[in-house]
Chains A and B, each alone.
Chain A
Amino acid sequence: MPKMNMIQALNSALDIAMEKDPNVVSFGEDAGYFGGVFRVTAGLQEKYGLDRSFDTPINEAAIAAMAIGMAANGLRPVAEVQFSDYIFPAIDQIVNEMTRLRYRSAGQYTQPIVIRSPWGGGIRGGQTHSMSPEAFFTHVPGLRVVIPSNPYDAKGLLLASIENNDPVVFFEPKRMYNGPFDGKPDGALQSWANHPKGEVPEGHYTVPLDTAEVVREGNDVTVIAYGTLVHVALSAAEKSGIDAEVIDLKTLTPYDIGTITASVKKTGRCIVSQEAPRTSGFAAELSAQIQEDCFWSLEAPIGRVTGWDTPYPHAHEWSYFPGQDRFINALKSVMEVA
């Protein structure tokens, strides 16, 4: 099976979707001729033409609005927002329009749209190239939020998102475009070529949007992560000596409550994690739901490993980013409770 990094896997998904369905169009700032600042849309304009893969003016609200109008008229737009930090100008169009159109029109109009956007920290991106704004979107009824953690899932989830009839915000952990990241910034760069999830079928396949995956089985504690932190959590579990079960959530809304509760009921302990600031983050939602559904199985308070309630700093990135040590401390702490 071919090896792909996440960029190649996402590119392959777009290529296949555009090949399969002439209604799929791809656009964004620098996403046409140049192929995107991260190369995810490379080659698409050459292959499918100017009117299927094109550049846009620098206006995220207009990009989202254009997608809305196109999707209401039967196309399946895949719009790119260059960094998820810059998705906020589009938030009115996404929250009040895109995600509500099916509802407010009682199904007369639908919005099969994917908004792709590079996401997350760990790249010395500072305040506006590192954000993890998923909780702004998981709070929105009618929106699916998807965050892959590896090339195989990236392709399968993106294809599933494009083929789904609901709007999807698809965040791509840019720290892992070229290789997995275990949370140790001074370690050697890793490559997807040596990772089992770097094996990506060339053809069409999908990864379901409503299913999490247990990526490490364990009996002591459940760790729930998504995106880059999946790999950080896995490394931490290995090093901690604690038999943690690690769940890669993949889809944040609607999240896979079945896989989560089955695991927490087995282990009796749980850590939820996110790169984003702690307060009102998505981990808070997970924590509350797990508390409701698994209360009688819990042997310890649910732990949270998160970014701090600060803007994302540049120089002190590695004091901000929830790395291995923070996971290991949390694992120990949650195991110490009687």
Chain B
Amino acid sequence: MATQEPRYRVPVPEFRPGDEPDFSHLSIPAAGEAKRPGVDVDGRDTIDLALGMVRVLDHNHQAVGEWNPEIKPDVLREGLRHMVLTRVYDERMLKLQRQGKMSFYMKSTGEEAVAVAGAMALKDSDMVFPSYRQQGILFARGRDIVDMMCHCISNSRDNLKGRQLPVHYTWAEGNFFSISGNLGTQFPQAVGWAMAARYKGEDQVTASWIGDGTTAEGDFHGALTLASTYRAPVILNVVNNQFAISTHQNMAIGDAPTFAMKGLGYGIASLRVDGNDFLAVYAAMQWAGERARKGHGPTYIEYFSYRADAHSTSDDPSGYRPKTEAKAWPLGDPIERLKNHLIGLGEWDEERHEALEKELNELVVKSYKEAESHGTLHDGPLSPVPSIFEDVFEEPDWRLIRQRQDLGV
């Protein structure tokens, strides 16, 4: 037991298990308050945006202010569908992990808008370097669900041949980079990719995502330094979901007022965005994409959100935060907010929403049956055993050939 006052500050979360979470002290700027500068804005002139918050949907679910992207109801419904599918898929995969059908899973509950709206605001030809919690991008880009599941259960149809943990997707065809377990490594890599795209004269924008906790990694600093130095057409996104496993975001943010502010020190145009507001995420990413495409350089964006569920299937958040915290979160739920916005527009209703959930549930169940027909991690068939020696080098060398013989395959 601690017997004295700590000799230096060690940040702790505001609320621990058993506490009644109360976020009334959080200063959340009103929707519509943020100014929308031209895409050629100088980075240093974005300080208000880095300290404030781009929000479009107000408390009545109306779209307001300069950042309203004014997208058509069809596009909004498409976004809603991708978000619901992401959540339904996550729920199903969690159950399957609990049933022992796969080794591991990570949900993105509460953060669906960040991935889906971000991907929809980019072009499908734009390159993405996600972390492990942007599966919504895959749905927004139309990846085959069966293929995603086959990867997660490492079966004979896994496009990664069973080499990677579940949710570490790679989909080159969809311009979706290979996800790595090493936090933050993709951030500076994305800058290199963006530089190469510019080198080749391609009109391609590159976007990368990391979490709030990962901003403490050296690669965060490397990425922002490179992006700023070479003025790369890249969008560097930090999803501030308040938690890095058990540690609160205050472990990474220190005394900085916002994560978005950190971009200004590098001279990069920086935005802070309501991550649970589909329209705000869409508008910010669209703005950043246009900025990059027109040669005005990188954008750095913090999405203020909340990790509504466990870090992973290996984590139990009730050990470090109140169970009621997600419900108390003042920015609400991204799906509910977009749904209510569409209902307010007269473009959606509860019946259609229920029907959509049912349809997508059935799609996911049916897809899993098909995925399972290609094997499961436990019962096989898996990728052929000799394939473990392939793709180490372009061609296996004598050591790999010998080792394969040692294994008797």
Alpha-carbon distance A319/B177, docked complex (angstroms)? 50
Residue B185 at the A interface, CB < 8 A? yes
Residues from 187 to 218 in B contacting A, C-beta threshold 8 Å: 187-197, 199-200, 206, 218
Query: Interface 1/0s, chain A 100-127, versus B by CB < 8 A?
Result: 1111111111100000000000000000
Query: Interface 1/0s, chain A 54-74, versus B by CB < 8 A?
Result: 000101011001111111111
CB nearest to A144 among chain B residues: B393
Interface size class of B (residues with CB under 8 A): 35 or more
Decide if B188 touches A62 in the complex (CB within 8 Å).
yes
The answer to whether residues A65 and B188 also contact, given A97-B182, A105-B160 and a CB cut-off of 8 A, is: yes
Instruction: Report the stretch among A88-96, A231-239, A326-334 that lies at the interface.
Output: A88-96
Residue A25 at the B interface, CB < 8 A? yes
Decide if B193 touches A105 in the complex (CB within 8 Å).
no
Report A-chain residues with C-beta under 8 Å of the C-beta of B185.
65, 92-93, 96-97
Alpha-carbon distance A66/B199, docked complex (angstroms)? 13
Alpha-carbon distance A68/B191, docked complex (angstroms)? 10
Alpha-carbon distance A89/B225, docked complex (angstroms)? 15
* Interface-centre pick from A97, A165, A210 (highest chain B CB count, 10 A): A97
Residue A51 at the B interface, CB < 8 A? yes
CB nearest to A108 among chain B residues: B172
Report B-chain residues with C-beta under 8 Å of the C-beta of A210.
397
Residue B391 at the A interface, CB < 8 A? yes
Residue A257 at the B interface, CB < 8 A? yes
Residue A284 at the B interface, CB < 8 A? no
Decide if A72 touches B177 in the complex (CB within 8 Å).
yes
Report B-chain residues with C-beta under 8 Å of the C-beta of A104.
160, 163-164, 168, 170, 178, 180
* Interface-centre pick from B159, B185, B191 (highest chain A CB count, 10 A): B185
Residue B392 at the A interface, CB < 8 A? yes
Decide if A103 touches B182 in the complex (CB within 8 Å).
no
Alpha-carbon distance A142/B391, docked complex (angstroms)? 8
Residue B226 at the A interface, CB < 8 A? yes
Report B-chain residues with C-beta under 8 Å of the C-beta of A59.
221-222, 225-226
Partner of B189, one of A57, A97, A108: A97
Q: Shortest Cβ distance from B303 into chain A, in angstroms?
A: 22
Alpha-carbon distance A74/B196, docked complex (angstroms)? 8
Residue B399 at the A interface, CB < 8 A? yes
Q: Shortest Cβ distance from B127 into chain A, in angstroms?
A: 8
Alpha-carbon distance A59/B230, docked complex (angstroms)? 14
Decide if B170 touches A66 in the complex (CB within 8 Å).
no
Q: Shortest Cβ distance from A102 into chain B, in angstroms?
A: 5
Decide if A66 touches B391 in the complex (CB within 8 Å).
no
Alpha-carbon distance A103/B391, docked complex (angstroms)? 5
Report B-chain residues with C-beta under 8 Å of the C-beta of A257.
398
Decide if B160 touches A165 in the complex (CB within 8 Å).
no
Report A-chain residues with C-beta under 8 Å of the C-beta of B194.
69
Decide if A61 touches B188 in the complex (CB within 8 Å).
yes
* Interface-centre pick from B163, B189, B191, B226 (highest chain A CB count, 10 A): B189
The answer to whether residues A61 and B191 also contact, given A102-B394, A105-B160, A109-B170 and a CB cut-off of 8 A, is: no
Alpha-carbon distance A67/B397, docked complex (angstroms)? 24
Residue A166 at the B interface, CB < 8 A? yes
Decide if B219 touches A61 in the complex (CB within 8 Å).
yes
CB nearest to A59 among chain B residues: B222
Alpha-carbon distance A181/B110, docked complex (angstroms)? 64
Residue B125 at the A interface, CB < 8 A? no
Query: Interface 1/0s, chain A 160-185, versus B by CB < 8 A?
Result: 00001110000000000000000000
Residue B353 at the A interface, CB < 8 A? no
Residues from 216 to 254 in B contacting A, C-beta threshold 8 Å: 218-219, 221-223, 225-226, 229
Residue A201 at the B interface, CB < 8 A? no
Residues from 148 to 195 in B contacting A, C-beta threshold 8 Å: 159-161, 163-164, 168, 170-172, 177-178, 180-182, 185, 187-195
Alpha-carbon distance A62/B223, docked complex (angstroms)? 7
* Interface-centre pick from A105, A107, A144 (highest chain B CB count, 10 A): A105
Report B-chain residues with C-beta under 8 Å of the C-beta of A103.
163, 391-392
Report B-chain residues with C-beta under 8 Å of the C-beta of A67.
192
Q: Shortest Cβ distance from B206 into chain A, in angstroms?
A: 8
The answer to whether residues A65 and B219 also contact, given A25-B199, A254-B399 and a CB cut-off of 8 A, is: yes
Q: Shortest Cβ distance from A312 into chain B, in angstroms?
A: 25
Residue A311 at the B interface, CB < 8 A? no
The answer to whether residues A107 and B391 also contact, given A65-B185, A69-B196, A74-B200 and a CB cut-off of 8 A, is: yes
CB nearest to A110 among chain B residues: B394
Alpha-carbon distance A92/B217, docked complex (angstroms)? 12
Decide if B180 touches A62 in the complex (CB within 8 Å).
no
Alpha-carbon distance A5/B270, docked complex (angstroms)? 49
Residue A196 at the B interface, CB < 8 A? no
Alpha-carbon distance A254/B400, docked complex (angstroms)? 10
Report B-chain residues with C-beta under 8 Å of the C-beta of A74.
196, 200
Partner of B193, one of A51, A70, A93, A165: A70
Report B-chain residues with C-beta under 8 Å of the C-beta of A72.
177, 189, 192-193
Q: Shortest Cβ distance from B106 into chain A, in angstroms?
A: 17
Q: Shortest Cβ distance from B186 into chain A, in angstroms?
A: 8
Decide if A66 touches B195 in the complex (CB within 8 Å).
yes
Alpha-carbon distance A35/B229, docked complex (angstroms)? 19
Report A-chain residues with C-beta under 8 Å of the C-beta of B188.
61-62, 65-66, 69, 93
Decide if A68 touches B192 in the complex (CB within 8 Å).
yes
CB nearest to B202 among chain A residues: A73
CB nearest to B206 among chain A residues: A69
Q: Shortest Cβ distance from A28 into chain B, in angstroms?
A: 13
Decide if A97 touches B180 in the complex (CB within 8 Å).
yes
Decide if B191 touches A69 in the complex (CB within 8 Å).
yes
Report B-chain residues with C-beta under 8 Å of the C-beta of A109.
170, 172, 177-178
Report B-chain residues with C-beta under 8 Å of the C-beta of A164.
394
Alpha-carbon distance A258/B195, docked complex (angstroms)? 42
Alpha-carbon distance A121/B16, docked complex (angstroms)? 55
Report A-chain residues with C-beta under 8 Å of the C-beta of B172.
105, 108-109
Report A-chain residues with C-beta under 8 Å of the C-beta of B168.
104
**Closest 8 A/B residue pairs (Cβ):** A69-B192, A62-B222, A65-B188, A254-B397, A73-B196, A66-B192, A69-B193, A108-B172
10 of the cross-chain contacts (CB-CB < 8 Å) are A57-B226, A62-B219, A62-B223, A65-B219, A71-B192, A73-B127, A75-B199, A96-B180, A96-B181, A105-B172
A25-B199, A66-B189, A67-B192 provided; 13 other pairs, C-beta below 8 A? A57-B225, A66-B188, A69-B129, A69-B195, A69-B196, A72-B192, A74-B200, A104-B170, A104-B178, A108-B159, A108-B172, A142-B393, A254-B397
